Structure 1
């Protein structure tokens, strides 16, 4: 149920997203806009590049494609459930967590989200700049500046950008993807002899991670969707289909061109007119950076509701672009994956508390009461994730991976267990949430019966 807190008392400005948390979100997005936004966000060069970690080596290609489909379905359904909650409550994602943890306790996941959004914004800018530099044989820094500036400007008018993505950008991306598919499928497709996945479920786990990595951002956009069902269908189908397409494109490109020693980007550039198709995808890729810049600003408003998101977005854009220009973000990537592992069990806790348990009004006000007991299943789910598949760090951070690997040995867990860390973490968090909340559910039902 939508909160009636004074936080929603102001009006939106210019028909776009409210400037502060005090403004109510205009409900102007339907199924077409929602599907188009999430399909566009799912079209990312990160996915085909990550395909090498999904490949089941020396197995028929359809085994890997099957893992991609299963992972995309699981991940996109979970993402859609979070999107639906955002549409029903009409608040951004981090404000939505007030109903789960309480206002002040929600600052904890908000802090994690701020770090990961800035990091992923910088990473997206870097990916765009690197791919453009390789495609055009030019220096990287002008493309980083252009991508950062464009993404920041997009974050100033987010709903207008969503409409443009739905009407134009997603179709340009689909045309480019379709062309690349036709070209790579015209080549022989022998089994891929090298791949990073050790089992069906470890392959699916990588695919699951991509849709649910957007869970802490989903409600920032779907709070503008008219109905929860529309938000669920548009988000899950849009991102799910794009995930299947992009991962499959990467795997097929590796099968077609990998024997020649080409990586995925080089393989796509090698096809006739591949440069044009890749450049189209690079332009569309900017929406990923835009989404992270905008969500950083909106997440910060959970702490201070009257901060101007436009000023915040400008600051975030400058920081992300500077990071992309000045630092080796490859060393930062494992830390971003670690933060993602932090959010996976929180998703399990939220989905149980919001969708399955009696909840009445979902309190997202400034007085939302703390529920510290729910920190337990969140923490337990994170531990289960690391015990299943420790986040890998090299160099100075290797001690983290070593410590968890030793704990696996202590408990007799095979490091090559082949399980999905995401599903194990979600299951542990979900079951413990039911256990922790069981007394309250019993009291609620007794009160209702009386």
Structure 2
């Protein structure tokens, strides 16, 4: 009788699929100038910061049984959340296009039938995933993830044992702090999505923890594969490495399936966020529309460097989740009955500006952690000041009523 809710295992499998991604491998290649040891340290530190925030974001949705954008109402009001819902849909359309573009380009390097054809193939498979539906993906995801796991291990072995040279090592071009921030950026980009899945979990805490840990480990591995590919093979093109290693068909399978399982989450969550903007929208059909738009964009526009896109996502959603963490876990606030909670919107704007400023400051922990710490600090100070001001008004009013 108890069919409701997704299992902890299913949530873990969903986020395994999110972590296995060409975009994560490509982002890992950007860290190669640091060398392997420094690059690895930046990957681990960045993912520790990013996945901690991801855990709290997922836990809020799991505890409250709310989608990601519905949890935003808790801090920004019933209508204040619309700003973030619109921004989230836009970033998810962008991610859908980027993922399809990267997957198609890599697939075409192995079987050169035309990148636009691979865009259509990948886009079509994502739509199939959407039509199957999240709750019906259990067995299919188990098989798909098992195959992906085996093939990514083979890919890792090929890169780290098949090549002895050291290619692209240079202390110039990227600071340690910038590398940390690029490592934070991927888990941070999933912040506005994770609650769309943990809200359905039978055991929210366990599912959120499993999702975060699985994603964090797999994402680190993808980054390391990308960095290792650049360092040990002297190329940034993962498809070229697969071909050289004789992983033609298997490599193609990794590229296409990993792109589908990751981009499905982007498209699905875009559909969920669209329902927050308008109740008339149906999740599934909105997700399909997003996939179609993303596929067309991937065919038409070049999307080779996504670093600025990642930083933009960080500047929007890092201060947002900082305010949500402060309100939910420290201050115990709930502003869903308010249309716009203006003080939190102002604090978010301050956090956004601060992040953009910090992009020009080199810190050993990147931009996200200091930005979130300051944003949470502003929240707590505002709460203390407003509470003190409110109590003074009450004290002044009491003698008049006696």
The TM-score with structure 1 as length reference comes to 0.80
Instruction: Tell which deviates more after alignment, 246-255 or 333-342.
Output: 333-342
Select the residue among 314, 320, 337 that pairs with 2:294: 320
Three-state SS of the structure 1 residue aligned to 2:79 is coil
* 1:387 aligned to which of 338, 350, 357: 357
In the alignment, which of 325, 329, 338 is matched to residue 355 of structure 1? 329
| CA drift at 1:237 | 0.5
Q: Assess if the C-alpha contact under 8 Å between 2:187 and 2:216 holds in 1.
A: yes
Q: Is the 8 A contact 2:177 2:362 kept in 1?
A: no
Deviation, 1:255, is 2.0
**Inter-CA distance 180–380: structure 2 relative to 1 (3 Å threshold):** same
1:50 aligns with 2:27: yes
2:368 to 409, 419, 422: 422
Higher relative contact order (CA 8 A, sep 6+): 2
Q: CA offset at residue 141 of structure 1?
A: 1.3
Shift of 1:301: 0.8
Pick the aligned partner of 1:301 from 275, 295, 299: 275
Alignment CA distance shift 1:321-1:273 (3 Å): closer
Q: Shift of residue 131 of structure 1? A: 0.9
2:213 equivalent among 233, 237, 255 = 237
Distance 1:346 1:158 in 2: 29
Deviations 1:402-449 (A, max 9, x none): xxxxxxxxxxxxx55655111222122111111122245669999xxx
Alignment equivalent of 1:263, drawn from 220, 237, 257: 237
The answer to whether residue 192 in structure 2 is matched with residue 246 in structure 1 is: no
Q: 1:262 to 1:281 in 2, by over 3 A?
A: closer
Match of 1:438 in 2: 384
**Cα distance in structure 1, aligned partners of 2:286 and 2:111:** 33
CA distance 1:28–1:131, shift in 2 (3 Å): same
Counterpart position of 2:396: none
State the match for 1:284 in structure 2.
Answer: 258
Match of 1:39 in 2: 16
**2:261 and 2:352 mapped to 1: Cα distance?**
30
Unaligned stretches of 5+ residues in structure 1: 1-14, 16-25, 391-414
Q: Could you tell which deviates more after superposition, 61-70 or 164-173?
A: 164-173
The RMSD of aligned alpha carbons is 2.6
Following superposition, the deviation at residue 30 of structure 1 comes to 1.9
Aligned pair partner of 1:82 in 54, 57, 60: 57
1:130 aligns with 2:105: yes
Distance 1:214 1:196 in 2: 30
Q: Distance between the aligned counterparts of 2:286 and 2:236, measured in 1?
A: 41
Decide whether aligned partners of structure 1 residues 242 and 335 sit closer, same or farther in structure 2, where only a CA change above 3 A counts.
closer
Aligned residues: 390
Gaps in structure 2 of 5+ consecutive residues: 393-402
Contact 2:33 2:172 (C-alpha < 8 Å) held by counterparts: yes
Q: In structure 2, how many angstroms separate the alpha carbons of the residues matched to 1:301 and 1:342? A: 20
C-alpha displacement at 1:310, in angstroms?
Answer: 2.5
* CA offset digits 1:330-361 (Å, max 9, x no partner): 488735642442111111111111122233xx
Deviation at 1:375?
A: 1.6
Q: CA offset at residue 116 of structure 1?
A: 0.7
Q: Hey, what does 1:211 align to over in structure 2?
A: 187
User: Residues 243 and 332 of structure 1: is their aligned pair in 2 closer, same or farther, counting only changes over 3 Å?
Assistant: closer
In the other structure, the counterpart of 1:370 is 340
- Larger helix percent: 2
Mapped contact 1:48–1:246 kept (Cα < 8 A):
yes
Is the 1:212–1:344 contact (alpha carbons within 8 Å) kept by the matching residues of 2? yes
The answer to which of 267-276 and 210-219 deviates more is 267-276
Aligned in 2, Cα 1:251/1:93: closer, same or farther, shift over 3 Å?
same
